[in-house]
């Protein structure tokens, strides 16, 4: 699953791909990258073509000064699928990636065979207070100091000491460290803040798909959540499940914000069973996606 890249509208998009068969598009969360899926890609690629991009502003993709909205991400992913010759995909999104996945299914329903939301954003106001704080003006300077080399080196030293005595970090700790470490790069940190402020404000999540969730009923939908998620509360999973007719809900007990990292074998098994037991959506026209005015 080597890192590949291509140019879309003069912007470099990095991605990983493997396998053959129906296409799975895996969308990572904020400050993440395609590497977040490394534990599940081998299992999934035995039956499917897996495509895991680095979103713009993340990983090895370009970090332009531009649009970091959910709609812009969805458009780029559409263009990536077209460039790779894929007409449709089961779209899997984690955290921010879940919000992008929902936006993708709304903008391009004809390209979405199934929708899988993993600890997804965009389903309610509540979010970890740290993210609300980082959305405030002036947080840029504090975040730059928090990601300084001296602090990173001190944390790495503690990690190295723990490893020498046989202690290995939990998967969630390793994932959080990768996200934190990526913010040491100035361009990545600026892109992170632009992405964050596009979806979060000091009061919480500022973008909600609640009034469009009923549209997801046209495609098989799976919701996966950890009941110990400290970033986005599990109550959002139950609310989304109730709002999407026919959706499936899988709660991972004792798991946090990264079910695919914390319980990868279970994640692969549940996702595979979901795909094999559902008929992919084939939406050709979607007149109900046109906005209707309320009668006066």
- Among residues 28, 58, 241, 257, which one is catalytic? 257
Task: Indicate if 185 belongs to the active site.
Answer: no
> Exposed, middle or buried: residue 160 (CB in 10 Å: 0-12, 13-18, 19+)?
exposed
**Contact, 260 vs 44, CB < 8 A?**
no
C-alpha 289/C-alpha 266 separation (Å) is 35
Q: Which of 61, 95, 120, 182 is catalytic?
A: 95
For 51, the token pair is: 């495509």
From 229, 241, 247, 260, active-site residue: 229
Separation CA 17–CA 11 (nearest Å): 19
Contact 220, 278 (CB under 8 A): yes
Instruction: Identify whether 257 is a catalytic site residue.
Output: yes
C-alpha distance across the termini of the chain, in Å: 56
**236 labelled catalytic:** no
Catalytic positions: 95, 229, 257
């Amino acid at each position: 699953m080597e890192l590949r890249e291509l140019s879309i509208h003069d912007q470099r998009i990095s991605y990983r791909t493997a396998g053959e068969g129906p296409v799975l598009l895996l969308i990572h969360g904020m400050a993440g990258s395609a590497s977040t899926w490394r534990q599940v890609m081998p299992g999934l690629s035995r039956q499917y073509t897996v495509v895991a991009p680095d979103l713009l502003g993340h990983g090895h993709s370009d970090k332009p000064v531009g649009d970091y909205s959910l709609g812009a991400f969805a458009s780029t992913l559409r263009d990536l699928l077209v460039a790779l010759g894929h007409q449709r995909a089961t779209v899997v999104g984690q955290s921010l990636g879940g919000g992008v996945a929902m936006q993708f299914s709304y903008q391009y329903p004809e390209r979405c065979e199934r929708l899988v939301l993993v600890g997804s954003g965009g389903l309610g106001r509540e979010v970890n207070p740290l993210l609300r704080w980082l959305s405030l003006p002036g947080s840029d300077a504090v975040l730059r100091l928090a990601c300084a080399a001296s602090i990173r080196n001190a944390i790495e030293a503690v990690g190295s000491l723990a490893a020498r005595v046989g202690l290995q970090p939990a998967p969630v700790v390793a994932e959080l460290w990768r996200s934190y470490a990526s913010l040491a790069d100035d361009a990545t940190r600026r892109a992170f803040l632009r992405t964050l402020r596009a979806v979060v404000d000091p009061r919480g999540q500022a973008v909600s798909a609640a009034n469009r969730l009923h549209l997801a009923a046209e495609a098989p939908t799976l919701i996966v959540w950890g009941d110990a998620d400290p970033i986005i509360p599990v109550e959002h999973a139950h609310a989304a499940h109730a709002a999407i007719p026919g959706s499936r809900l899988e709660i991972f007990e004792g798991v946090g914000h990264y079910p695919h990292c914390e319980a990868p074998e279970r994640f692969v098994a549940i996702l595979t069973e979901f795909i094999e037991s559902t008929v992919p959506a084939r939406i050709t026209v979607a007149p109900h996606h046109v906005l209707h005015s309320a009668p006066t």
